[in-house]
Structure formats: C-alpha cells, structure tokens
Structure 1
Amino acid sequence: MKLLVNIDVDDLARAEAFYTNAFGLRPARRFGDAVVELLGADAPLYLLRKDSGTAGAADSLRDYARHWTPIHCDVVVEDLDAALARALAAGARQEGAIREASWGRIVTVADPFGHGWCLLQFLGRGYDEIAT
C-alpha cells in the first residue's frame, strides 16, 4: 500500500510557502494551477486548491477556519523547539503548551488553512516506551 496525503487549501501559493517553510518539504510536480506535489516526508503531500464555500465531502461546504477531524497527521522531528519555531514563523498557530510524556514531547499547531498537526519529538525508545 502507498499512502498519499491530500490537503485542501484556498490559496495554493500561500500553502506551498507554508509547507515548504514549516516542514522543509520541497515542491515536485505541478498539475496545472490547482495541485502541487510536495516531497520530503514518508508520504507525498498534495496541496489541492479548492475555493472556500465549494462542496466538500458529504455535501458540506469547505470552510478554512479552524476545524477538527478524527484523522490528523503527526510530523516527527529531531528538535521540537526548532520545529515549532519554524512552523510558527511560517504562519502556524500554536494550540496549547508543549507536553512531555515517557515516549517524547508533543505540541499541536494549526496551519493557516485550519488543518491541525501534531509535532512530535521521540525520546528514549519513542512509542516503545509505552508499548504493551
């Protein structure tokens, strides 16, 4: 199985700038003026330009205010403080304090398009610290 991550945005240039600056991804292919493929993660990210107010899933209208979904992405980083600083400088909003657990450190952010992301820094054996 190959996983592809598709992210709806209302401003493709702004989204490309955010994801390349915040997460160090690099643009690869473009599909017209509505899609850009970003590489540099384990799975490619596709930014899809979709206007606000257009129909999304289940006939709901796209709204780029902060939203919640039961599926989200984690970005594993070597240095959480540096990664958070890069994301904030690129336009992310921090949502709460950095938290620490036996497996590592985590902070949640929202991108400029309302999508939530977790930045994770594994410590020790990472999730193996809590695996049963």
Structure 2
Amino acid sequence: MTTLLVNIDVDDLDRAIHFYTRAFDLRIGRRFGSAGVELVGANAAIYLLVKQAGSLPFAGSTSPRSYGRHWTPVHLDFVVEDLDGALARAEAAGAVRESDIAAHAWGRIVMLADPFGHGLCLIQFSEKGYDAIATNS
C-alpha cells in the first residue's frame, strides 16, 4: 500500500494553522517544534512546513520560494458535503475566491487560493460523482 503525505510550505505557522483548521475542520496531530505541524482529519495527513520566503526549495534552484499567488500543476481538492457552507468557512478563514461556483454533471466546484498563494478547490460531488462522466476507454 502506498501512503500519501501532503506537505504545504508556509512562512507563518500560526497563520497556516489558523487557516487550515478553520477552513477545513482539520485539527493538530503532532507538532515538530517551530519547524512544522501535522494536521489530521482528512484522508491524508497534511504537514505544514515552515520555509522562509526567498529560500531556495532545492539545491540548484533558481526560483526562490514566494508566497504570493503562484501557479503549480499540483493543487489540493477538498471534497465537501456542503459547498456553500465550506466556501463561507474558507473565506472567513482567509481564502481568496478565484472563480464563481461552477456546476458540472459530476458536481459543483469553486477555485480558491490559501493565504500562502497555493491554489485549492472545494468540490461537492453529485450523487454519481465522477461516474457521471466516466468512460470505458
């Protein structure tokens, strides 16, 4: 079995804990001193890792970390039962809405950014979910 761990770089641990625990009803599992915290309550543990803005993410990198809004091909989708309620909680916690709520055969979705510039989505599946668009090929 493969275990998935989600790591999110942040430059302000207290602010990140505030956002993720209030927006997504997560709770603190373990603390790792001032370097990070484990959040539990989702299907995969989420680790908030303190990395200063301007620091290099890996040896040889020419692009330092930035916590302004940025694009990455990897993002988080939080599946919720009540999209409108989840959106209100996320925005109250500091998320920035980047789209209107869109309806699809598989459900509803809204795109957001967390306070650290990371993109994320809230998804409320329809009764069939992705089976509504799945093909046999």
TM range (shorter): over 0.9
The share of aligned pairs that are identical, in percent, is 64
The number of residues matched between the two structures is: 132
If the length of structure 2 is used for normalisation, what is the TM-score? 0.94
Please report the RMSD computed on the Cα atoms of aligned residues, expressed in angstroms. 0.8
Q: Which runs of 5+ in 1 are unaligned?
A: none
Alpha-carbon distance in 1 for matches of 2:132, 2:71: 28
Superimposed CA distance per residue, residues 37-58 of structure 1 (whole angstroms, 9 cap, x where no aligned partner): 0000000000001110001145
Question: Residue 34 of structure 2 aligns with which residue?
Answer: 33
SS at match of 1:128: helix
- Tell me the CA shift for residue 19 of structure 1: 0.2
Within 1, Cα distance between the matches of 2:4 and 2:73?
17
Q: State the secondary structure of the residue aligned to 2:85.
A: helix
1:129 aligns to 2:124 (yes or no): no
Shift of 1:15: 0.2
Q: Which runs of 5+ in 2 are unaligned?
A: none
3-state SS of the aligned residue for 2:39? Answer: strand
Q: CA deviation at 1:21?
A: 0.2
Matches for 1:1-132 after TM superposition, within 5 Å: 1-57=2-58, 59=61, 60-132=63-135
Structure 1 runs (4+) greater than 4 angstroms displaced: none
Return the TM-score normalized by structure 1: 0.98
* Letter paired with 1:25: L
